[in-house]
């Protein structure tokens, strides 16, 4: 898994890349990151700024949180179903 870069670092990279003085490959070399990271961050900055249509960073973050919450709730629901079945089986007349 690649290392997580802080938002301030990403903003700096995007700012330098958008200036146009250097190519994205040169920006990547200067900041010691991959060219693909520069491309992705610039593309996402365009989406966040409304230049290009797409899912903004805030929307992506919300989606990730909602998926995690849904997964947790599904697990809790499964645990409750199993517990109910266990206790129901113990209370059956013999």
Place of tokens 């903003």: 11
**Model-level pTM greater than 0.85?**
no
**Is 2.60.120 the CATH classification of the domain at 1-54?**
no
Domain definitions of the chain by residue range: 1-54, 56-94
Residue 12 has pLDDT above 90, yes or no: yes
For Cα atoms 3, 64, 66, give the angle at the middle one, nearest 5 degrees.
155
Q: What is the pLDDT of residue 3?
A: 76
Position 92 confidence tier, pLDDT thresholds 50, 70, 90: low
Tokens for 58, please give them: 């805030």
Residue 93 has pLDDT above 90, yes or no: no
- H-state helical runs in the chain: 7-19, 24-31, 35-48, 57-90
Give 29-81 pLDDT, tens digit per residue.
Answer: 999 999 999 999 999 999 999 999 999 999 999 999 999 999 999 999 999 99
Q: Which is more confidently placed, 25 or 1? A: 25
Residue 91 has pLDDT above 90, yes or no: no
Arithmetic mean of pLDDT, 25-30: 97
Give exposure, 45-75, as e/b (b: 16+ Cβ within 10 Å): bebbeeeeeeeeeeeeeeeeeeeeeeeeeee
């Amino acid at each position: 898994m690649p290392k997580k870069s802080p938002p301030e670092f990403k903003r700096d990279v995007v700012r330098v890349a958008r200036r146009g003085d250097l190519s994205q490959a040169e920006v990547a070399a200067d900041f010691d990151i991959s060219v693909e990271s520069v491309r992705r961050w610039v593309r996402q900055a365009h989406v966040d700024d409304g230049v290009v249509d797409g899912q903004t960073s805030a929307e992506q973050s919300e989606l990730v949180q909602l998926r995690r919450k849904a997964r947790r709730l599904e697990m809790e629901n499964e645990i409750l179903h199993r517990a109910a079945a266990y206790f129901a089986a113990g209370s059956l007349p013999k």
